Amino acid sequence: MARARWAENLVANLYAREGHEIVARNWHCRDGELDIVAVMRRPQPIIVVVEVRARASSNFGAPFESVTRSKQTKLRLAIRKFLQTHPEIQGVVRFDVASVLGVKIEVLHGAF
């Protein structure tokens, strides 16, 4: 749990440094959880849903591989609920996956 929280903090800080506004962290609903929801307002609003995957090593597979179709479906349902409860947040939705392997961060933009 501590590793996951640490990795989410690293990734949130990365997005904030790139100019994104972090609007939610660890948002829960019945359909799932959103690790990070960020908004980039320029040039047009983009809502970025970031799924963070942390591993100490790749012995049990790459972090990107762990975002299954089932997980993708849950993320899509969760962002739909999130946006229903936050009508002030508008824009195109993009799903990113951030891999934290050891201390190395790699982000796959528009992962699905």
Cβ atoms of residues 51 and 37 within 8 Å: no
pLDDT tens digits, one per residue of 14-67: 999 999 999 999 999 999 999 999 999 888 999 999 999 987 666 666 777 889
Token pair of 30, please?
């019945």
The parent domain of residue 13 ranges over: 2-108
Question: Number of folded domains in the chain?
Answer: 1
CA distance 28 to 53: 17
**pLDDT(6) > 90:** yes
pTM for the structure as a whole: 0.91
Q: Rounded mean pLDDT of the chain?
A: 92
CA distance 22 to 13: 9
Strands 46-55 and 104-108, sheet pairing: unpaired
CATH number for position 7: 3.40.1350.10
**So what's the pLDDT on residue 86?**
97
Residue from 11, 1, 5, 19 nearest 98 by CA: 11
Residue 48 Rama label (left phi>0; alpha psi -120 to 50; beta): beta
